[in-house]
Amino acid sequence: MSTDSNAETGTDAESTAETDVESGTDADAEPAVPEPDISSHQQRRMDEKREGMAERDAQAAAAAETDGETTHLRIFRYDPEVEGKSEPRFDDFQVPYEQGMTVLDALIYARDHFDSTLTFRHSCQQGVCGSDALFVNGSQYLGCKTQLNEFDEPVRIEPLPHQDVVKDLVVDMQHFYEQMDAVEPYFEPDELPEDELEEQRQTRENREKIKLSTRCIQCGACASSCNVAAGDNKYLGPAALNKAYRFIMDEREGGERREERLEIVEDEHGVWRCQTQFSCTEVCPKDIPLTEHIQELKREAIKEDIKFW
């Protein structure tokens, strides 16, 4: 009995071996790698993002209930590259308020907790870089320097007027920078000290005269507030004229270079286009007396043209 059993078993073993040999061909081949399901991966990421946003929203709501104080923001939105967002509109946000919160703080909170697509410029958050100039409740402000509690609600936040909007609160500053470059803002003294390590000396009185003009951070708020600049695209604008003032009034400037720079600002789209409205001075976040500087440039231009002999 055991012999027959072994024989039968042996037959089965041979059959199994044959099967193994046949299947061995497939085993030696490289296993097929399934194509990654990109759509499911993207869906998973989107689900995770929604869950994260829902959690942040819940935290924001809980913070608002705890503190009992929020600020209503009404923010300009525009995205020409996305269908359904190419028409300008306003979105509303309820941001939990904290003592000392700035306009920029509120925007960052709205972006981080409610809508990650909200777009605006900011950098140093110390009032130095000039990147976050905004139009808030009808006037130009530097977002990082302006307290949120200064405004009545809803706090309406828009991009700077008279500039092309790129997206949301971001405007195209290229033309503004070109106007700044037009006054050739760099020194050309008549002569340099013989010793390359010797500084170009300036009197204290002259330094005080031009000190305020050197504070410009090129935020563009002044040009945005200027009605003349809005109607005359070639007008140099208050920022560029202030930059010209900074060099023309510096006693280290070369005499010939000074005359050339005065000719630039005397152009028909220069100082004589200023209507002395003081709007640029009122909105300047660095308190530069821009209108006064422009008027002084006018006086200097006249003096250069008058001959006494």
**120/234 Cα distance (integer angstroms):** 27
Tens of pLDDT, residue by residue, the chain (309 residues):
444 444 444 444 444 444 444 444 454 555 555 665 656 766 776 677 667 666 655 655 555 554 569 999 999 999 999 888 899 999 999 999 999 999 999 999 999 999 999 999 999 999 999 999 999 999 999 999 999 999 999 999 999 999 999 999 999 999 999 999 999 998 888 888 888 888 888 999 999 999 999 999 999 999 999 999 999 999 999 999 999 999 999 999 999 999 999 999 999 999 999 999 999 999 999 999 999 999 999 999 998 777 655
Q: By three-state DSSP, how is residue 209 classified?
A: helix
Q: Using DSSP bridges, classify how beta strands 133-136 and 139-142 pair: parallel, antiparallel or unpaired.
A: antiparallel
State the CATH architecture for 51-171.
Roll (3.10)
Domain(s) of CATH 3.10.20.30: residues in the chain: 51-171
Domain(s) of CATH 1.10.1060.10: residues in the chain: 174-191+204-305
Half-sphere exposure in the Cβ direction for 197 (13 Å, CA): 0
pTM: 0.76
105 and 147 Cβ atoms separated by less than 8 Å: no
All residues at 6 or more sequence positions from 147 whose CB lies less than 8 Å from its CB, including other chains: 100, 101, 102, 103
**176/288 Cα distance (integer angstroms):** 18
265 and 301 Cβ atoms separated by less than 8 Å: yes
Neighbours of 234 (CB within 10 A): 13
Instruction: Give me the DSSP letters along 259-305.
Output: HHHHHHHTSTTTGGG-----HHHHH-TT---HHHHHHHHHHHHHHHH
The pair of structure tokens assigned to 118 is 């909200």
User: Which amino acid is located at 138 in the chain?
Assistant: G
The pair of structure tokens assigned to 40 is 């499911």
Q: Using DSSP bridges, classify how beta strands 155-158 and 70-77 pair: parallel, antiparallel or unpaired.
A: parallel
The pair of structure tokens assigned to 18 is 């044959």
Neighbours of 166 (CB within 10 A): 17
| CATH T-level topology, domain 174-191+204-305 | Fumarate Reductase Iron-sulfur Protein; Chain B, domain 2 (1.10.1060)
